[in-house]
Amino acid sequence: MAVSRFLAGGFATALLLTGGVFLWKGHSQVAEQRALPAPPPKLPAIPVAGPNAPKRGAAPPELPAAKQETREERRFNRYDRDRNERISRVEMMATRSAAFRKLDANGDNLLSFEEWAVATSDRFAGADADKSGDLTRTEFATTAPKRKPKPTCSC
């Protein structure tokens, strides 16, 4: 009995495959019998330049050169928010207040800002040579952190 089911299933599969092939071939013949659409109209020819025409157009304008800032100028411009060529105490402390907020993660304000900013206030007062309350570019240059020399290989 199991063998007859197996043979019946194989015969049904072969019959379905044969029907699929005939159906597939029939569709392709119907598609070939349809009339093809007319070809699109020809496009006009592209005009050709005369023998005396220039080969290229005018050269593009030169790009403006960007000013190369030194490391100290970039540092000064980071602090000078109002771009008046002077750094006020508030501008100098703005970066410190952002760092303070990062340190005070839970927001309980147990770390007092005055205690934490003493180093910055002292650095600002030491750099303000003319005691004007603002730092000029030359005064600001004295506040640059001391750069460590790059380690050399002892090979």
154 within some domain? no
Burial 80-112 (b: 16+ CB within 10 A, else e): beeeeebbbeebbbeeeeeebeeeeeeeeeeee
Average pLDDT taken over every residue of the chain: 82
Residue with tokens 């005018």, as numbered in its chain? 58
My answer on whether 87 and 135 are in the same domain is: yes
Quick check: is 39 in a domain?
A: no
Give the pTM: 0.36
Per-residue pLDDT averaged across 13-18, rounded? 91
Residue 155 lies in a domain: no
Quick: pLDDT tens for 62-94.
888 888 888 899 999 999 999 999 999 889 888
Look at the chain and report how many structural domains it folds into.
2
Strands of the chain, DSSP E: 87-88, 134-135
Amino acid present at 32: E
Contact 113, 100 (CB under 8 A): yes
Containing structural domain, residue 117: 71-141
